Amino acid sequence: MIIGIVAISKNYAIGKDGKLPWHYSADLRFFKEMTTGKTIVMGANTWRPIGKPLPNRLNVVLTRSDIETPTEVKKLRSVNEVLELSRTLTNDVFIIGGAKVFESFADVIEKWIVTYIPETIDGADTFMPENFLGGFTVTDTKDLSDGLQVKTLVRNRSGVKSLQEASMMGGRTWDIWIDEYSETHQNTVNEAMHILGIPMIAASIVLLPTLFIEFAMWRIIVELFVIGWALQFIGHFFEGKPPEFLKDRRFLLVGLRWWFKKVF
């Protein structure tokens, strides 16, 4: 199971100056108890100040950069790579933060374990969205010492965002597909070629019915289609990687969603 574990203040703060804005031994002990023997996934910003793997856990750092990590720490580049890893594991995978990583996994987290810190943090710079528990139901509440309370929440099966129900195309959400697509569209020339080419191909398909009214439109339609595809292949030449749809045709649809996400 993919589980999010977080400690939040009354004003939804989770971090300040790259660190936790509080020190509660009871919460650290609880975190250790929950995650020992399991897999923990953290973002590069959370990893940096820790700097060494938390013991007795498989430590995964999510990053697209070439940061240095000890050999026992697994570096992964996308949500999708984490999900692939999780399929090979028998244990739970804990997403431990920070905010950017929680956002990346928002659609796939099935359970949240939330420690409520009884403080309002001034000057915090990292927050959880106020609605991050929307669609989740509290199944357990327990008190730690120092006035801390922990709630466990599970995703509503009837909720809009249950993984199986909201996901599409092979049990993966659009965000995960787009994430994978983005990995092979990092080169700026390739990105520009796709931003131009994808709407040309889409327009050529949308214009097809006009042939019934004005057959001379075929020329424009063919030109849009051919130029649109040519731009994509030129882009992939610069990227040095083949287009995804050659391995899986569902990426033809993902490309369109990627375009909307980029442009709007």
Ligand X SMILES: NC(=O)c1ccc[n+]([C@@H]2O[C@H](COP(=O)([O-])OP(=O)(O)OC[C@H]3O[C@@H](n4cnc5c(N)ncnc54)[C@H](OP(=O)(O)O)[C@@H]3O)[C@@H](O)[C@H]2O)c1
Residue type, 101: V
Q: Compute the least distance from the CB of residue 229 to ligand X, in Å.
A: 29
Q: Which long-range contacts (CB under 8 A, 24 or more apart) does 149-157 make?
A: 149/115, 149/116, 150/30, 150/113, 150/114, 150/115, 150/116, 151/112, 151/113, 151/114, 151/116, 152/111, 152/112, 152/113, 152/114, 153/111, 153/112, 153/113, 153/114, 154/110, 154/111, 155/109, 155/110, 155/111
Closest CA to 7 of 17, 33, 26, 155: 26
Helices (H) and strands (E) in the chain, counts: 9, 10
Rule CB under 6 A: say whether 97 interacts with ligand X. Answer: yes
Per-residue x/- marks for ligand X, 116-135, CB under 6 A? ----------x---------
**Of 76-84, 156-164, 186-194, 235-243: span binding ligand X (CB under 6 A):** 76-84
Complete DSSP assignment for 94-131: EEEE-HHHHHHTTTT--EEEEEE-S---TT--EE--TT
Among 2, 3, 4, 7, binds ligand X (CB under 6 A): 7
The least CB distance from residue 220 to ligand X, in Å, is 39
Rank residues 63 and 187 by Cβ distance to ligand X and give the closer one. Answer: 63
Q: How many residues make up the chain in this entry?
A: 264
Contact 11, 124 (CB under 8 A): yes
Site string for ligand X, 99-118 (x = CB under 6 A): xxx--x--------------
Q: In angstroms, give the least distance from the CB of 196 to ligand X.
A: 26
To ligand X, the closest distance from the beta carbon of 233 in angstroms equals: 26
User: Which of 95, 111, 194 has the alpha carbon at shortest distance from 150?
Assistant: 111
Nearer to ligand X, 57 or 220 (CB): 57
Q: Which of 29, 52, 64, 142 binds ligand X (CB under 6 A)?
A: 64
Residue labelled with tokens 């075929």: 218
Give the number of other Cβ atoms within 10 Å of residue 95's Cβ: 26
In terms of CB distance, is 44 or 54 closer to ligand X?
Answer: 44
Shortest distance, position 122 Cβ to ligand X, whole Å: 15
Compose the 154-193 pattern: x for residues touching ligand X by CB under 6 A, - for all others. -------------------------x--------------
Residue 14-43 contact track with ligand X, rule CB under 6 A, x = bound: xx--xxx---------------------xx
Interface residue with ligand X, options 12, 45, 159, 220 (CB under 6 A): 45
Residues of this chain that interact with ligand X (CB under 6 A) are 6-7, 14-15, 18-20, 42-46, 62-65, 67, 77-79, 96-101, 104, 126, 179
